[in-house]
Structure 1
Amino acid sequence: MKNLPVLDLSIIALYLLAMILVGVYFSRKNKSADQYTKASGKIPGWAIGISLYATFLSSNTFLGVPGKTFGSNWNVFVFSISMPFAAWVAAKYFVPFYRSTGEVSAYTNLEKRFGTWARTYAVTCFLLTQLVRMGSIFFGISLTLQALTGYSMEMIMLVTGVCIVVYTVMGGMEAVIWTEVFQGILITVGALIIVYLLVSNMPGGVSKIVEIGNNDNKFSLGSLSLDFTTSTFWVILLYGFFINLNNFGMDQNYVQRYHTAASAKEASKSVWLCVWIYAPASLIFFIIGTCLYAYYQVHPELIEPVKLQAAAERLGAGASSFDISSLAAILKPSDYGDKVMPYFMVTMIPAGIVGLILSGILSAAMSTISSGMNASATVFSEDIYKRFYKSDINEKQNMRLLHLATIVFGLLGMGCGIAMIGVKSILDIWWELSGIFAGGMLGLFLLGIISRKTGNLEAFAATVIGILVVVWASLSYMIPDDYAYLRNPLHANMVIVIGTLAIFLTGTILTKIKSLAK
């Protein structure tokens, strides 16, 4: 692959500099922890909604969804279809609940409800989820920029990571939200430009893309059979509902934004605005994946460098050109899907426009990572440091703690990104790991909200059982073949579903048993 022209590199450099200057601008306002974490509750609902949209629309969407669609079909779009159902629950119950507590942390109430252990467990799950998410996004953006610039993935993560850390530490939540508003618009425009270029360069235009897509079943949303062992329509719908319920109801990234709104009504509006923008906008990325597939079906010779690169990476150093060519000839589209978008960008998009689109991808990555860093730092400050070490710290000490924690979580996110180098699909690794960490956390939260009679002991027992179920569901593939009947037969995306239900139903049953025993 050829490297980026100086013009495109200059545009990217200017964008990174602009983000740092945004942090400098907002740093003048950050004189208190309330301003740093909640923007003093003065952000309009529409801006929060676009900010939530930008958080959803990470570089995992920009790169992972077209790559996944190129290698399979539109099955993953069912995730977007599930969002309105979760949003309804969030707007009706979760947002008013959090606004009424006044607590900036999403997990303080769990301690009031069940005890210290519940808060600690939820905080641990959240922080692990954030590290995985930041790592997957660092990995995705470095994979793209490596293909386009030739620099190592580690170097790219370091440079982009430093820029993100600087503007997040200096700017706080207000800088995060307003830059996400700009970033959400920029990445959407970039995606539309790619669609236009693909269609205009495609012989036969839209009709040919639709013809190839129909012939190869590229528009399928998955099987409608009640099969939960493969990625059917129902598996993705259930996964999407539960993970979005976790996002809107338990994820500090979202809960913290509810407190930046002027009122509960504005906060609820922001949830619905996020959904109504994200659902159709995400469709653009599925269209891109299908267009890429059709384009390279018409021009199969143009995709050969990508297949050779994927084969070389699989075989490793020292592989012969014959072995690489032989493997490349039998690779399936799913084996190199994540590499296709960067390749198209550098080979088919004019200089200057590539820089703008890459800035859009960078903006999506930066918005999600900066949001995760700020939320993780807030949780560390409120739920760990102040709770277990020292609660009576002054404003200056609190700000210093938040700044330091933001830096540490940014560095840990980069470390996770480096550890992910070599994974096959960005989207798959993120979905699988987030489902593992989020399952128990959501189940415990729902138990506390819905089952008001459940006590500390029942909740603790239910959580232990739920954790065991999640561990079994996630790791049972390691069981030897002689005991294959003990493995989890369900699809990996069902982990969050069975983990959540295991905790909620066990806690409810134990509560019923306790009440009958009295």
Structure 2
Amino acid sequence: MFHRRFAATRRRTPVNSHFTQLDWAVLAAYFAATMSIGFYFWRKSRSTEGFTAAGRALPGWVCGLSIFATYLSSISYLALPGKSFADNWNPFVFSLSIPIATWIAVRWFLPYYRASGEVSAYALLERRFGVWARLYASVFYLLTQIARMGVVMYLMALPMAVIFGWDIRLVILFTGVSVTIYSFVGGIIAVIWADAIQALVLMAGAVICLAVLLLGVEGGPFQVFSTAAAAGKFSLGQFGAGVDQGRLWLDAGSATFLVVLLYGLFINLQNFGIDQSYIQRYIASSSDREARKSLWLGGILYVPVSAVFFLIGTALFVYYNSEQHERDLPEVRQLVARQRLMQQGVYPEYEDAEATVPTPDYRQSLDGEAAGLTDTEIGDRVFPHFIAKHLPPGLTGLLIAAVFAAAMSTVSTSLNSSATLLMTDYYRRFLNPRATEKQCMLALYASTIAWGILGTGMALVLVKLTDSALDIWWTLSGIFGGGMCGLFLLGIVSRRANSPAAAAGVVTGVLVILWMSFPKLVDYLLSQPPGSRAGQVGAWFQRLGTGWLSPFHAFMVPVVGTMAILLVGLLVARLSGARGGRPAGDSSDA
């Protein structure tokens, strides 16, 4: 039914005709090159060491490009321009925190992983606090990767389905199957080399698109910068802290410069310090020096590239608000409205197979949905609309290939890291401790296929899932998985902290994160029908008032939660006189 709806409406999509045969050729060449990489490296991935760590022999620059490509998902590729189009450069402050987080990870986290000899990032937690800590971290990592793969593929396919009229399920299935095949055949060495090529495609696409934009505005780059500056588009936001009458104050209730910087620091520390996806790149590097090079390259490269994407969004603001393109924004609103109706299960309806204009009832629903959209809500779709309508043939195919590359690099990394954890932390650790090399390889192959199916299945489920339900899933996963960074920090900075101290820290941290996440949960409950069970629970919370709700901005959740775990763990360890095991490479005496 879904396929027939899209097949019947494909020719009626406003910008469908702009994807030419040349664009298809470029896109096909990209997929052919990506798939060939997996088969090329098949012989080098037929051992567990080759499949999970690439023989620990890769150069740092390749691993660094892989880290960069993994970091820049299709969500970022489309969302960063959308943010600067709708508002300003305040989110770019997140990127400015990356050098600090990279230095911390290089200084304290990377040496341990290189010295441990372990492929699993969570072996540290078992050595320090027991098997419960390892399972706690790995379970939530594995579940999060399923959701992450699904969200990345879904959000990559959705604008393509709306703009080009492609069947969203076929786009998801084709992407999921392609990534699973080359990840299955080539292991991490194929994933890393494919990521490196995809990184080049990503950057080339972004730079070319920016050049076309800057030269396409009447008046050129000067007009773009002057118009954007006059509109305050380059603002990084209010600093959010200062001294008033001798007292230090901090605005932690809004997305100020300082709040975004702190948020970015803790999120990037979580990425570069404890995320299995990145840890395997450090392990795959040929030496400690190459591992450090990979992290610095992957982290620092994101800063200027993200600036390019923010500049694309700023240029799009000027481009789409110019007189020569004044008809484009209403078209974008119609596309976003169509997408939202699709998510609600409402599809274009026509009187017959030959009709090109939807029925009056559907047009009324479409116009009503479009009228209520804000710039923030249409921001993420302006860039794909520009790619589809305003780029010359060939470049459209290159940019769509770049969007696919952004998604596939993230999904392939999640697949390989998840398969690695399932083999090391579960199969070889519990199910079959004496497993042979052949049995471990079978476990890796089976895990890759299983997580590929689950991730693709999640993306297909999201086609019917509402945005609010998706938000709740991410909120809950953040609550229970948010303790991992604090737990790792506790294990690294303190040799006193033992298992009870770590458990006390995690419980406290999860409760703090839960409390800080309540405003979002309450908003979701209140958005439900008043007569429903969820709506009644929301009304009950509303009667309690707002005095007990967290005053902090959502960006402060990982900051406060991580610090709560670390400080409570240190306090309990000190009060109890505990003497935990000394972590490798640690010389602290907390």
Normalised to the residue count of structure 1, the TM-score between the two structures is 0.94
CA shift digits 1:436-456 (9 cap, x unpaired): 465200001111111210111
- Indicate how the Cα distance of structure 1 residues 284 and 423 shifts in structure 2: closer, same or farther if over 3 A, else same: farther
Cα distance in structure 1, aligned partners of 2:187 and 2:492: 31
- Of 67, 86, 92, 2:101 maps to 86
Quick one: percent identity of the two aligned structures?
A: 42
AA partner of residue 293 (structure 1): F
One of 305, 312, 332 as aligned partner of 1:306? 332
Cα distance in 1 between the residues matched to 2:559 and 2:478:
8
Matched, 1:214 2:256: no
The within-5 A match list for 1:233-252 is 233-252=257-276
Q: What is the DSSP-based 3-state SS (H/G/I as helix, E as strand, rest coil) of the residue aligned with 2:321?
A: helix
Q: Tell me, in whole angstroms, the C-alpha distance in 1 between the residues paired with 2:576 and 2:27.
A: 61
Is 1:260 the counterpart of 2:284? The answer is yes
Partner of 1:482 in structure 2?
543
Partner of 2:23: 8
Identify which range, 113-122 or 49-58, moves more after superposition: 49-58
Indicate yes or no: 2:443 matched with 1:401. Answer: yes
Contact 1:198 1:291 in 2 (8 A): yes
Per-residue deviation at 1:476? 4.2
Does structure 1 conserve the Cα–Cα contact (< 8 Å) formed by 2:23 and 2:398?
Answer: yes
By how many angstroms is 1:433 displaced?
A: 7.3
Q: Which whole-Å CA distance do the structure 2 matches of 1:173 and 1:118 have between them?
A: 26
1:57 aligns with 2:76: no
Residue matched to 1:31 = 46
Residue identity opposite 1:506 in structure 2: V
Aligned equivalent of 1:105, options 91, 116, 120: 120
Q: CA deviation at 1:435?
A: 5.0
Q: Which has the higher contact order (CA 8 A, sep 6+)?
A: 1
Which residue identity is paired with 2:415? M
Task: Work out whether residues 209 and 294 of structure 1, in 8 Å CA contact, stay in contact via their aligned partners in 2.
Answer: yes
Ranges in structure 1 where 5+ consecutive residues have no aligned partner: none
Worse-matched range after superposition: 221-230 or 111-120: 221-230
Distance 2:40 2:319 in 1: 44
**1:194, CA displacement in angstroms?**
0.6
Change (3 A) 1:433 1:262: farther
8 A Cα contact 1:432 1:492, kept in partner: no
Q: What is the CA–CA distance in structure 1 between the aligned matches of 2:365 and 2:40, rounded to whole Å? A: 54
Aligned ranges 1:174-213 → 2 under 5 Å: 174-213=189-228
* Larger helix proportion of the pair: 1
Q: Is the partner of 1:203 in helix, strand or coil?
A: coil
CA contact 2:64–2:297 (8 Å) conserved in 1: yes
Change (3 A) 1:368 1:291: same
Match of 1:269 among 276, 293, 312: 293
> Are residue 141 (structure 1) and residue 184 (structure 2) matched?
no
Give the 3 Å change call, closer, same or farther, for CA 25–51 of structure 1 in structure 2: same
* Matching residue within 362, 366, 372 for 2:408: 366
386, 399, 402: which one aligns with 1:344: 386
Contact 1:476-1:486 at 8 Å conserved across structures: no
SS at match of 2:458: helix
Answer whether contact 2:337 2:369 (CA < 8 A) is retained: yes
- SS at 2:118 equivalent: coil
* Distance 1:20-1:242 versus aligned 2 partners, 3 A rule: same
Aligned residues: 515
Assess if the C-alpha contact under 8 Å between 2:97 and 2:264 holds in 1: yes
Cα-to-partner distance string for 1:89-121 (whole Å, 9 max, x where unaligned)? 111111111111100000012111101110011
CA deviations 1:382-425 (Å, max 9, x no partner) are: 11222221111111111111111111112222233334447779
2:487 pairs with 1:444: yes
Provide the C-alpha distance between the structure 2 equivalents of 1:94 and 1:351, rounded to a whole number of angstroms: 46
Work out which of the residue numbers 459, 480, 503 in structure 2 matches 1:417: 459
The DSSP-based 3-state class of the residue aligned with 1:151 is: coil
Q: Is the 8 A contact 2:162 2:335 kept in 1?
A: no
- The one-letter amino acid paired with 1:306 is V
Distance 1:153 1:490, change over 3 A: farther
Q: CA RMSD in A?
A: 2.2
Matched-pair contact (CA < 8 Å) for 2:505–2:564? yes
Matches within 5 A, 1:462-477: 462-477=505-520
- Please say if residues 259 and 556 of structure 2, whose CA atoms lie closer than 8 Å, have aligned partners that are also in contact: yes
- Determine helix, strand or coil for the equivalent of 2:236: coil
- Amino acid across the alignment from 1:443: G
* 1:179–1:367 CA contact under 8 A, matched in 2: yes
Structure 2 unmatched runs, 5+: 1-13, 241-249, 350-360, 523-537, 579-590
- Alpha-carbon shift at residue 242 of structure 1 (Å): 0.7
User: Counterpart of 1:356?
Assistant: 398
1:290 and 2:314 correspond: yes
Q: 1:58 to 1:323 in 2, by over 3 A?
A: closer
Verify the 8 A CA contact 1:70 1:293 in the aligned structure 2: yes
Shift of the alpha carbon at 1:324?
3.4
Q: Does 1:496 align with 2:558?
A: yes
Structure 1 letter corresponding to 2:485 = L
User: Quick check: 1:73 aligned with 2:73?
Assistant: no
Change (3 A) 1:430 1:236: farther
Relative to structure 1, the CA distance from residue 274 to residue 179 in structure 2 (aligned partners, 3 Å threshold; closer, same or farther) is same
Q: Distance in 2 between matches of 1:312 and 1:274?
A: 37
Q: Does structure 2 retain, via aligned residues, the 8 Å contact 1:439–1:498?
A: no
Normalising to structure 2: TM-score of the pair?
0.83
> Secondary structure at 2:134's aligned position in 1?
helix
Counterpart for residue 513 of structure 1? 575
Instruction: Please say which of residues 444-453 and 408-417 is displaced more in the overlay.
Output: 408-417
**Structure 1 range deviating more: 270-279 or 206-215:** 206-215
Residues 466-500 of structure 1: CA deviation (Å, up to 9, x unaligned): 12222222234426222222222222222211221
Paired residues of 2:479 and 2:510 also in contact (CA < 8 A): no
One-letter identity of the residue aligned with 1:116? V
Pick which of 159-168 and 485-494 moved more.
485-494
Larger radius of gyration: 2
| Map of 1:388 onto structure 2 | 430
- How many angstroms does 1:220 deviate by? 1.5
